[in-house]
């Protein structure tokens, strides 16, 4: 009954700007190098969704997680308020190829993923997010469960000598603030864009007024320079640094003392008017992440103090050429490379013996975490598009990845497990075929099949007796893992209809459904023949070792309906469902999100906008017991947002998030870990939160 009343309220109350996923055929053409979906039907990949407008009508400060919060099919994996990562259709981490600006990659240094790529890029810089929903393109690197491209702002389109904005945001829950400055300029052939931001977040309170350890400070800046030699040649350089300090992670055994990252990239683009050769795109990038974490503020400190100093170096590049073969064939061919290496150890000072008695002289140990490991991936690909008619096209892609891996400073216990250990080479094949048909009256249908292969990550191969999961197990890497394969079939249908009537102006609608058969799915599995290396008497005494499982699958759908009415109103509803099965263990795969439904009613004019959003998340009774998951009850959260523009160039926005102060936890969120005031129960989400955001453009 409560639900019905709230839904009715939604319809009746005043409201706002729905950021709808735009089907690919309605995107404005942009000349930028950063995008992978340009609106050109001859070039765009199959099965994409786009979310843009991240910089318009802002009503609250952003953190990286919120960028994905409102995209249908996405859920968030949280370890607190900082290290937030997207889960898309029950795939996450290295199963998703997360990059930004059309191919720049950066990997975290922390074995607990305190610093994923989503924390290395300032959320303020992101102007849009592009998603390829499965292994349906081979052009953007290894693609197992999808590609996510975060596009950051550029000065390429600036039309003034100096243009920019100053903004400031505040959130009451946690007494958190964000301040930032953006500047951009174009002088003839040269353009530059830059931004600086500072955020200071406090611990938030959940719906029952429990204070959750989650505070952090972060300073970041980004710079992009571009030079257009002429209409056909352009060069762009980008550089960014991010400094995280004193980050509390409610769901991890340690806190971040320091996380410094540096990322640089260089892009060159050539367009040709030759009949066959149409252009070239070259890219190189480099990133370095320096991470320090410790347990100095945690209960375990009294027994044993621990500090880990780890770093990660990523570098890579891409060279892609574009060809027209007659009027019916378009061809993209190229090669890409990505190298990731990690090193770092944990220094431990044991102060009490196993009986809990203080040791007169504490014992010092150095534990190997990353074992000086690396993976190098060299990919080569060819993707062709054949135009059967003007309205129908076929895409065919093929990709080979050559992966080499090794670890050069082995922990003796790890080395004893794998006596034949050495450098390893693998070759993986990925491919796809898609058919797309434009139907009359703005309808499109796409049918795709893709096979995406992904070799094991560094964690899965080489982690040495370290707690990296959301469960209390020590994890052990397995250098002999086979590559994980996703065979995905997908059908999607999108349409829109315009009306002459004054009541309903336009409706947009769509549905996508998919079925994936996994081969060699990689999972950490308890190995009862082994005993954990550190604290060997503390349960669980057996560690988890990464294994390939034989048989697993997922299937699901997303659907949306967006109705524009009375010129300024807008009603959006979205639904996403995913079902997974680990057939070997007869249970769900880990991190399968529950059914999610969203309703959003909005009102928007030039000067004023408002919205009510109501999210219903169903309970998730289907769990992965081997992953220590527990069933999660359903919950409902309502947010109200509004803003206005009192002066030209000035906008003021505010919101009440979680207006009913709902006490809840998300199914994918980690459990409290090594915290004085909490047992190992799931971390609860923020309660009611008032936000304010002011932005001045000049
Ligand atoms: Cu860490």
Rounded Cα gap, residues 528 and 164, in angstroms = 60
Rounded Cα gap, residues 9 and 613, in angstroms = 11
Rounded Cα gap, residues 514 and 446, in angstroms = 12
Asked whether the predicted pLDDT for residue 19 surpasses 70, the reply is: no
Q: Is the dihedral of CA 680, 682, 688, 694 positive or negative?
A: positive
Of the candidate ranges 2-11, 173-182, 188-197, the one whose mean pLDDT is the lowest: 2-11
Q: Which two tokens stand for residue 630?
A: 């527990």
β-pair type (608-617, 635-647): antiparallel
Q: From ligand 1's centre to the CA of 125, what distance in Å?
A: 24
Q: What percent of the chain has pLDDT over 70?
A: 95
pLDDT digits 0-9 by tens, 226-283? 998 888 899 999 999 999 999 999 999 999 999 999 999 999 999 999 999 999 999 9
Extended strands (E) in 188-215: 190-201, 204-205, 211-212
Q: From ligand 1's centre to the CA of 109, what distance in Å?
A: 7
Q: From ligand 1's centre to the CA of 354, what distance in Å?
A: 26
Q: From ligand 1's centre to the CA of 257, what distance in Å?
A: 9
Rounded Cα gap, residues 253 and 674, in angstroms = 5
pLDDT digits 0-9 by tens, 610-620? 999 999 999 99
Contact 277, 321 (CB under 8 A): yes
Q: Which two tokens stand for residue 94?
A: 């290295």
Q: From ligand 1's centre to the CA of 251, what distance in Å?
A: 12
Say whether 302 sits in a helix, a strand or coil: helix
Q: Which two tokens stand for residue 695?
A: 């932005």
Residue 593, pLDDT score: 97
What CA dihedral angle connects 111, 117, 121 and 122, to 10 degrees? -70
Q: From ligand 1's centre to the CA of 111, what distance in Å?
A: 6
Q: Which two tokens stand for residue 637?
A: 């959260």
User: Average pLDDT for residues 561-576, to the nearest whole number?
Assistant: 95
User: Average pLDDT for residues 110-131, to the nearest whole number?
Assistant: 89
Q: From ligand 1's centre to the CA of 245, what distance in Å?
A: 12
Q: From ligand 1's centre to the CA of 54, what distance in Å?
A: 29
Q: From ligand 1's centre to the CA of 509, what distance in Å?
A: 42
User: Average pLDDT for residues 16-29, to the nearest whole number?
Assistant: 34
Rounded Cα gap, residues 602 and 610, in angstroms = 6
Q: From ligand 1's centre to the CA of 523, what distance in Å?
A: 21
Q: What percent of the chain has pLDDT over 90?
A: 77
Using alpha carbons, list the distances in angstroms from residue 422 to 243, 373, 405, 428, 478: 36, 11, 9, 19, 12
Q: From ligand 1's centre to the CA of 381, what distance in Å?
A: 35
Residue 241, pLDDT score: 95
Q: Which of 551, 553, 547, 573 is nearest to 561 (CA)?
A: 573
Alpha-carbon radius of gyration of the chain: 25
Q: From ligand 1's centre to the CA of 237, what distance in Å?
A: 29
Q: From ligand 1's centre to the CA of 143, what distance in Å?
A: 26
What CA dihedral angle connects 12, 16, 22 and 25, to 10 degrees? 90
Order the strands of the 147-152 sheet from edge to edge. 48-51, 126-132, 147-152, 97-100
Rounded Cα gap, residues 1 and 7, in angstroms = 10
Q: From ligand 1's centre to the CA of 255, what distance in Å?
A: 7
Q: From ligand 1's centre to the CA of 510, what distance in Å?
A: 41
Rounded Cα gap, residues 371 and 465, in angstroms = 11
Residue 153, pLDDT score: 83
Q: From ligand 1's centre to the CA of 75, what distance in Å?
A: 22
Residue 63, pLDDT score: 67
Of the candidate ranges 56-65, 158-167, 586-595, 647-656, the one whose mean pLDDT is the lowest: 56-65
Q: From ligand 1's centre to the CA of 537, what distance in Å?
A: 25
Q: Which of 594, 690, 668 is nearest to 635 (CA)?
A: 594
Residue 230, pLDDT score: 86
Q: Where are the domains of the chain?
A: 2-697
Q: From ligand 1's centre to the CA of 292, what distance in Å?
A: 6
Residues 6+ apart with CB under 8 A from 656: 639, 640, 688, 689, 690, 691
Rounded Cα gap, residues 86 and 88, in angstroms = 6
Rounded Cα gap, residues 66 and 150, in angstroms = 13
Residue 465, pLDDT score: 93
pLDDT digits 0-9 by tens, 343-391? 999 999 999 887 888 898 999 999 999 999 999 999 999 999 999 998 9
User: Average pLDDT for residues 626-648, to the nearest whole number?
Assistant: 93
Rounded Cα gap, residues 40 and 387, in angstroms = 13
Question: Sorting pLDDT into bands at 50, 70 and 90, what band is 34?
Answer: confident
Q: From ligand 1's centre to the CA of 256, what distance in Å?
A: 6
Asked whether the predicted pLDDT for residue 26 surpasses 60, the reply is: no
Asked whether the predicted pLDDT for residue 648 surpasses 80, the reply is: yes
Asked whether the predicted pLDDT for residue 54 surpasses 70, the reply is: yes
Asked whether the predicted pLDDT for residue 21 surpasses 50, the reply is: no
Question: Sorting pLDDT into bands at 50, 70 and 90, what band is 17?
Answer: very low
Residue 32, pLDDT score: 55
Q: From ligand 1's centre to the CA of 454, what distance in Å?
A: 25
**Summary mean pLDDT of the chain:** 90
Rounded Cα gap, residues 86 and 96, in angstroms = 9
What are the residues facing 456 on neighbouring strands? none
Q: From ligand 1's centre to the CA of 477, what distance in Å?
A: 18
Question: Sorting pLDDT into bands at 50, 70 and 90, what band is 107?
Answer: very high
Q: From ligand 1's centre to the CA of 314, what distance in Å?
A: 17
Q: From ligand 1's centre to the CA of 98, what distance in Å?
A: 20
Q: From ligand 1's centre to the CA of 546, what distance in Å?
A: 21
Asked whether the predicted pLDDT for residue 11 surpasses 60, the reply is: no
Rounded Cα gap, residues 615 and 633, in angstroms = 14
Q: From ligand 1's centre to the CA of 424, what distance in Å?
A: 28
Q: From ligand 1's centre to the CA of 367, what distance in Å?
A: 15
Question: Sorting pLDDT into bands at 50, 70 and 90, what band is 58?
Answer: confident
Q: From ligand 1's centre to the CA of 209, what distance in Å?
A: 27
CATH H-level superfamily of 2-697: TonB-dependent receptor, beta-barrel domain (2.40.170.20)
Ligand 1 is an ion; its neighbours by CB within 5 Å are: 110, 112, 114, 293
Asked whether the predicted pLDDT for residue 22 surpasses 90, the reply is: no
Would the pTM count as exceeding 0.85? yes
Rounded Cα gap, residues 522 and 509, in angstroms = 36
Residue 204, pLDDT score: 95
Rounded Cα gap, residues 512 and 557, in angstroms = 5
Asked whether the predicted pLDDT for residue 7 surpasses 50, the reply is: no
Rounded Cα gap, residues 253 and 511, in angstroms = 41
Residue 628, pLDDT score: 87
Order the strands of the 91-92 sheet from edge to edge. 74-78, 84-88, 91-92
Asked whether the predicted pLDDT for residue 679 surpasses 70, the reply is: yes
Q: From ligand 1's centre to the CA of 291, what distance in Å?
A: 6
């Amino acid at each position: 009954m409560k639900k019905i009343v709230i839904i009715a309220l939604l319809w009746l109350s005043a409201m706002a700007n729905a950021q709808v996923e735009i089907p690919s055929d309605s995107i404005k053409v942009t000349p930028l190098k950063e995008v992978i979906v340009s609106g050109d039907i001859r070039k765009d990949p199959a099965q994409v969704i786009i979310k843009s407008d991240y910089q318009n009508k802002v009503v609250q400060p952003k953190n990286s997680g919120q960028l994905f919060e409102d995209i249908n099919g996405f859920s968030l994996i949280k370890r607190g308020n900082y290290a937030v990562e997207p889960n898309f259709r029950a795939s996450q981490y290295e199963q998703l190829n997360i990059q930004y600006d059309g191919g720049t990659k950066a990997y975290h240094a922390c074995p607990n993923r305190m610093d994923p790529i989503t924390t290395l890029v300032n959320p303020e810089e992101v102007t849009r997010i592009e998603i390829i929903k499965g292994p349906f393109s081979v052009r953007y690197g290894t693609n197992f469960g999808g590609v996510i491209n975060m596009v950051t702002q550029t000065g390429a389109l600036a039309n003034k000598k100096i243009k920019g904005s100053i903004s400031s945001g505040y959130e009451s829950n946690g007494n958190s603030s964000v301040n930032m400055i953006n500047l951009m300029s174009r002088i003839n052939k040269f353009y530059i864009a830059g931004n600086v931001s500072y955020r200071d977040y406090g611990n938030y309170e959940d719906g029952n007024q429990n204070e959750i350890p989650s505070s952090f400070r972060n300073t970041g800046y980004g710079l992009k320079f571009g030079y257009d030699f002429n209409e056909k040649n352009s060069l762009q350089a980008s550089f960014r640094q991010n400094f995280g300090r004193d980050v509390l992670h409610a769901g991890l055994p340690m806190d971040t003392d320091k996380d410094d990252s540096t990322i640089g990239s260089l892009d060159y683009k050539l367009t040709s008017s030759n009949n066959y050769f149409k252009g070239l795109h070259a890219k190189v990038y480099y990133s370095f992440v320096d991470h320090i974490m410790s347990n100095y503020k945690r209960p375990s400190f009294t027994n044993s103090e621990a500090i880990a100093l780890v770093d990660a170096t990523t570098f890579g590049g891409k060279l892609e050429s574009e060809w027209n073969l007659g009027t019916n064939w378009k061809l993209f061919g190229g090669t890409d490379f990505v190298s990731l290496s990690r090193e770092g150890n944990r220094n431990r000072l044991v102060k009490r013996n196993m009986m809990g008695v203080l040791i007169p002289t504490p014992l010092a140990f150095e534990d190997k975490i990353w074992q000086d490991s690396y993976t190098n991936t060299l990919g080569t690909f060819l993707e062709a598009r054949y135009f059967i008619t003007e309205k129908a096209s076929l895409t065919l892609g093929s990709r080979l990845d050559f992966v080499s891996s090794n670890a050069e400073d082995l922990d003796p216990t790890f080395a004893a497990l794998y006596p034949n250990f050495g450098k390893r080479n693998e070759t993986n094949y990925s491919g796809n075929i898609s058919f797309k048909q434009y139907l009359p009256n703005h309808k499109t249908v796409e049918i795709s099949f893709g096979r995406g292969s992904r070799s094991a990550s560094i964690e899965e191969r080489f982690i040495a007796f370290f707690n990296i999961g959301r469960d209390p197990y020590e994890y052990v890497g397995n250098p002999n893992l086979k590559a994980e394969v996703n065979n995905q079939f997908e059908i999607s249908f999108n349409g829109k209809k315009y009306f002459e009537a004054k009541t309903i102006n336009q409706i947009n609608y769509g549905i996508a459904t998919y079925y994936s058969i996994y081969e060699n799915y990689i999972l950490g599995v308890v190995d009862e023949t082994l005993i954990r290396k550190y604290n060997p008497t503390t349960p669980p005494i057996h560690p988890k070792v990464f294994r390939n499982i034989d048989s697993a699958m997922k299937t699901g759908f997303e659907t949306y309906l967006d109705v524009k009415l009375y010129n300024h109103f807008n009603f959006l509803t979205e639904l996403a469902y995913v079902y997974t099965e680990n057939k070997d263990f007869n249970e769900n795969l880990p991190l399968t999100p529950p059914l999610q439904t969203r309703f959003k009613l909005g009102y928007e004019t030039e000067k004023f906008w408002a919205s009510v959003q109501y999210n219903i998340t169903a309970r998730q009774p289907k769990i992965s017991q081997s992953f220590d998951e527990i069933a999660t009850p359903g919950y409902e959260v309502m947010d109200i947002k509004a803003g206005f523009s009192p002066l030209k160039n000035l906008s003021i926005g505010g919101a009440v998030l979680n207006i009913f102060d709902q006490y809840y936890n998300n199914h994918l969120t980690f459990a409290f870990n090594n915290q004085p005031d909490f047992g190992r129960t799931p971390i609860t989400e923020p309660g009611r939160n008032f936000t304010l955001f002011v932005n001045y453009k000049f």
